[in-house]
Amino acid sequence: MTTFAPSRPVKRTTYIPSMELVPGVIAGSVPGIARMITRAEAGYPEASAALAEIYKHTGKAHIVGITGVPGAGKSTLVSSLIRALASDGYKVGVIAVDPSSPFSGGAILGDRVRMSDAAESCRAFVRSMATRGHLGGLARSTLQAVDILDAAGYSPIIIETVGVGQDEVEVVTAAHTIVVLSAPGLGDDIQAIKAGILEIADIHAVSKSDKPEAPATVSALKGMMALGTYRTGSNWSPPVLPVSSVSGERIGELKDAIGRHWVHLRESGELATRQRSICRTRILGTARHLFQQKFDEKAGGLEKYIQAVVNRDIDPLVAAHMLLGWDHEGRIT
């Protein structure tokens, strides 16, 4: 006769209101930070007031974007940077955006496991976020997660983008310092040009510097820099640094370059300009999201407009105006 061990009772946790998590977040409580990021990512309406309160305690952190084409080794580089920055006493936060299904909550890849190992040994905070269909290399709630880490005292905060090529440029409106990582031997001497992201770089890094193709990629990038192919409106000249995350070669130089750029932004006055750009992007992005929500609510009546267009009773422009509640001149009715 088969016997079964009695099942253990399921431990039920009491839901803590988001506003009650705020003091813990500001004090640096890791469980509080994790819970608040989860609520921001899920879009809980109940969390809005808490996120607004947290935002009042932000604005101190250096936000660093790490971007580049797939296969460049961004996650491995971030792991090395975590160790290098932590050895200097920095409290490092990382938001790593995955091109993954919202149902699985994010792909767990080997490089992310290594990043988590680095974070655990260095007491850094690493969080993966799924894009949930959002284009641009970032998740919609990425900057809310950055706010939470900023308020908790983390700096620098690294945003590792999804690795999708041309859409990566959104990170330029989300971070103070942009590191574009290129890898040699991927079929093009300068992958950043192919991806359309060369001009956004504040620092160029060429990964896998031990590969024989690396010097050619470095030389080509330096040649483009000599032609003035870098971000307009800045007198900063982007350095080109070959690095090896495996051996650790010149990771310290990359860390120092990131620090020098942060000093440059503050001393030159460019920091205020970039802060305004980040705020502008967030306001417009939030407005678009809210508009999309309202539009989706109204789209339930779309079928009657489709049939009217099929019948040639109205044209698509008029149908769109009617769906939005506008008159024929585009004014809200």
d(CA 209, CA 76): 13
Check whether residue 152 and residue 24 sit in a common domain: no
Check whether residue 98 and residue 240 sit in a common domain: yes
pLDDT at 9 over 70: no
Check whether residue 43 and residue 113 sit in a common domain: no
Check whether residue 43 and residue 191 sit in a common domain: no
216 lies in some domain: yes
For residues 36 and 47, the answer to whether their CB atoms sit within 8 Å is: yes
| pLDDT tens per residue, range 58-95 | 999 999 999 887 777 888 899 999 999 999 999 999 99
Q: What is the pTM of this model?
A: 0.83
Check whether residue 30 and residue 65 sit in a common domain: no
Q: Which of 268, 294, 326 is the last residue of a domain?
A: 268
| Residue of 282 and 176 predicted with greater confidence | 176
For residue 240, what is the domain's CATH number? 3.40.50.300
The per-residue pLDDT for 23 is 96
Check whether residue 132 and residue 194 sit in a common domain: yes
The per-residue pLDDT for 173 is 78
Question: Average of pLDDT values for 135-164?
Answer: 82
| pLDDT tens per residue, range 163-216 | 645 445 667 778 999 998 888 865 554 554 554 567 788 999 988 887 877 888
Domain count, the chain: 2
| pLDDT tens per residue, range 90-107 | 999 999 887 654 444 444
Check whether residue 152 and residue 188 sit in a common domain: yes
Mean pLDDT of the chain: 80
The per-residue pLDDT for 50 is 96
Structural domain boundaries enclosing 110 = 60-268
Check whether residue 111 and residue 192 sit in a common domain: yes
179 lies in some domain: yes
Check whether residue 177 and residue 28 sit in a common domain: no
DSSP H helices in the chain:
18-27, 30-42, 48-55, 74-87, 110-122, 142-151, 191-195, 214-226, 251-268, 270-298, 302-310, 316-324
b or e along 201-221 (b: 16 or more beta carbons within 10 Å of the residue's beta carbon)? bbbbbbbbbebeebeebbebb
Check whether residue 39 and residue 102 sit in a common domain: no
Check whether residue 36 and residue 150 sit in a common domain: no
The per-residue pLDDT for 8 is 63
Is residue 112 very low, low, confident or very high in pLDDT (cuts 50, 70, 90)?
low
Q: Which of 39, 57, 75 is the last residue of a domain?
A: 57
Check whether residue 49 and residue 73 sit in a common domain: no
Sign of the dihedral through C-alpha 244, 249, 253, 259: positive
Question: By CB neighbour count within 10 A (0-12 exposed, 13-18 middle, 19+ buried), where does 330 fall?
Answer: exposed
Q: Which of 243, 268, 293 is the last residue of a domain?
A: 268
314 lies in some domain: no
303 lies in some domain: no
6 lies in some domain: no
Provide the pairing of β-strand 203-206 with 240-242. Answer: parallel
Is residue 129 very low, low, confident or very high in pLDDT (cuts 50, 70, 90)?
confident
